[in-house]
Amino acid sequence: MSDPLDEALAAAGLDIWIGAEPTFTRRESNEPWWLWQADPDAPGAEDKRQRAEVVAAEIARRAGPASTSARVPGRLYPDEDAPRFCFRVASAVGDRALTVTADPGVVEVNTAPCPDLRTFSAHLRDVWAAATEAGLSSFRWRYNGDEVDSGGGGQLTLGGPSPERSPFLIHPALLPRMIRYLGNHPALSYWFLGECAGSACQSPRADEGTRERWEELRLACAWLEREAAHDRVSPERLWSTLAPLLVDAGGNSHRAELNVEKLWNPHLADRGKLGVIELRAFRMAALPEDMVAAAALMRAVAGRCAIAPYDEPATDWGPELHDRWALPWFLAADLDAVLDDLAEHGLALDAHHDRLRGFRRHTLGKTRVGPFRIELSRALEFWPLVGDLASQERSTSRLVDASSERLELVADCEGDAPLTVEIAGHHVVPRVDPDGAWRYHVLGLRRRQYVPSPGLVPGLPADEPLEITVTAGDDAVRLRWFAWRPDGGAYEGLPADDGEARRRRAERLVVEPFVPERTAVTAAPPPAALSTWTLDVRTLHTRPDDPEPLRTDARTP
């Protein structure tokens, strides 16, 4: 049965093929090649190569009797002594091959491009089944029960049935429109992302790099759209105009959110002129159906930008990009806005809505205590790079300081009493975001969850646990959020199953009624601690003064 999006794109005369790069890890292993190393020459590392070979052989078996798998030379990276292992599968989908190779911490499957969602979905089911046969998983559990993706990402590719028939080359206004569309909708950059966001991640947005480069990109997109209207944009001109600007902060084109190194690149022999773009802002999906939904979304966005003008100017988000758009509350609303826009252009994704909304599993706890409704969620955090950026650009992996954590508190209380959040002797009145009959109070919270070594700002203490008191009139509730087990000590190994992982996560959030002390004195946070939507709890440790008495005109975000 075909997908309605396939039918809509076919009716519009659009040929948009889909590919993906799912990555799998050995969930129960803490060996370095299953955490951060790619293909080391070390005792025990052959386990990774053997499992990759099983994946390739199983995909070939499922593809039919004409399919085979064989080891072929892999890529040689600048900081590695030998090419990585690689297994090739001559007829996985039609006459197009796929490869199974090594990446840091994972086995990566570079899928064959598929003409429609139906084919793509069947192909991914075979890939997941093959990975399961090899004892590999699309996600991991940490000791504290946190569920994270495999660690290698789940990038998507869009192109055409041949390089010359790529939609980005047939419709040269499509790519500059799409760049502006992604920039104006942060949900497309952040909702599907893994743990690390910002300039040091594997898919930084164009406006997370240097200011000058982003301004030039705006100019380049406007110029290309004008030239495309007069049929004056060749594949060479399209690539050469955008390639120097779609890069990360260090100038690396491979790590850009929207990667065009295989669009029409004369410098990559055999694989540079494929008419393909890569969309990198996607964590590895837990299930094949989740990856299909993400692919449907981006395929629909490309279709929308091909069939209709997109006249919205590029938004200059400024500090709001890492403040408001770090919070799931606003990203969910932006994702809904994208889905509504696609539906208005005949590209509705009704069959994928639930998968898209559930792709980001961010809720840590949702409860009702007395008159309060409280939800605590994991928000995006923008981890900074540690060390010399220039030298790390020559490496396949980079060190970031992951000690900071951003949470989103959404609270409401029956009655009309003003709601106040108190943390570490400081009080904040959160902004109110109305949603129908309810008035939700939304606040971002940043804290240091552990002291890193190596890391930034050595000596700055951790806020462990993070204690949050929510007060309205005479009622109050206290939350305590632990990064580790509340009683301290080591866990007895990694979680054995999903139930044990959920139990460990659940015990780390303690929510209970609280009777506030009438004589307690709290202070407004210092200006440096408070942005429009977020309180940076780490900054409270730097304040030398005693708290000021609570005032009725205390600054609110």
Residues 354 and 400 in one domain: no
Identify the domain boundary among 320, 338, 360. Answer: 360
How far is it between the farthest Cα atoms of the chain?
79
Residue 350 belongs to some domain of the structure: yes
Domain range for 140 is 23-153
pLDDT given for residue 544 in this prediction:
65
Residues 186 and 171 in one domain: yes
Averaged pLDDT for residues 118-122 = 95
Residues 348 and 465 in one domain: no
pLDDT given for residue 519 in this prediction:
64
Q: What is the pLDDT of residues 87-109, one digit of tens each?
A: 999 765 545 679 999 999 999 99
Residues 131 and 266 in one domain: no
What's the sign of the alpha-carbon dihedral 142, 145, 149, 150? positive
Q: What is the pLDDT of residues 388-432, one digit of tens each?
A: 654 555 566 678 899 999 999 999 888 778 889 999 889 898 877
pLDDT given for residue 556 in this prediction:
38
pLDDT given for residue 392 in this prediction:
54
Residues 297 and 334 in one domain: yes
Residues 188 and 324 in one domain: yes
Residues 147 and 159 in one domain: no
Residue 329 belongs to some domain of the structure: yes
Q: Which amino acid is at 251?
A: G
Residues 431 and 509 in one domain: yes
Q: Name the residue with tokens 């190393």.
A: 37
Whether the ω angle into residue 176 lies within 30 degrees of 0, i.e. cis, is no
Residue 346 belongs to some domain of the structure: yes
Is 291:154 a contact under the CB 8 Å cutoff? yes
Residue 462 belongs to some domain of the structure: yes
pLDDT given for residue 298 in this prediction:
98
Residue 521 belongs to some domain of the structure: yes
> Does the pLDDT at position 551 exceed 90?
no
Q: What is the pLDDT of residues 457-497, one digit of tens each?
A: 988 999 999 999 999 888 899 999 999 999 989 999 999 99
Averaged pLDDT for residues 252-263 = 93
Residue 549 belongs to some domain of the structure: no
Residues 145 and 195 in one domain: no
Nearest CA to 4 out of 350, 356, 357 is that of: 350
pTM: 0.93
Identify the domain boundary among 120, 153, 186. Answer: 153
Q: CA 408, CA 440: separation in Å to the nearest integer?
A: 12
Residues 129 and 185 in one domain: no
Residues 422 and 348 in one domain: no
> Does the pLDDT at position 249 exceed 90?
no
Residue 74 belongs to some domain of the structure: yes
Judged by average pLDDT, the poorest of 10-19, 195-204, 339-348 is 195-204
DSSP 3-state assignment of 330?
helix
Structure tokens belonging to residue 185: 């909708």
Q: What is the pLDDT of residues 191-208, one digit of tens each?
A: 999 888 999 899 999 999
Is 364:509 a contact under the CB 8 Å cutoff? yes
Angle at the Cα of 327 from the Cα atoms of 455 and 299, rounded to 5 degrees: 105
The one-character DSSP state at 310 is: -
Other Cβ atoms less than 10 A from the Cβ of 367: the count is 13
Q: Which amino acid is at 172?
A: P
pLDDT given for residue 96 in this prediction:
64
Res. 41 pLDDT band, cuts 50 70 90: confident
Q: CA 311, CA 341: separation in Å to the nearest integer?
A: 13
pLDDT given for residue 549 in this prediction:
44
Res. 80 pLDDT band, cuts 50 70 90: confident
482, HSE (Cβ side, Cα atoms, 13 Å): 16
Identify the domain boundary among 343, 360, 377. Answer: 360
> Does the pLDDT at position 65 exceed 60?
yes
Residue 556 belongs to some domain of the structure: no
Residues 474 and 370 in one domain: yes
Domain total in the chain: 3
Judged by average pLDDT, the poorest of 91-105, 279-293, 317-331 is 91-105
> Does the pLDDT at position 440 exceed 80?
no
Averaged pLDDT for residues 162-174 = 96
pLDDT given for residue 554 in this prediction:
36
Mean pLDDT of the chain, nearest integer = 90
> Does the pLDDT at position 264 exceed 50?
yes
Res. 521 pLDDT band, cuts 50 70 90: confident
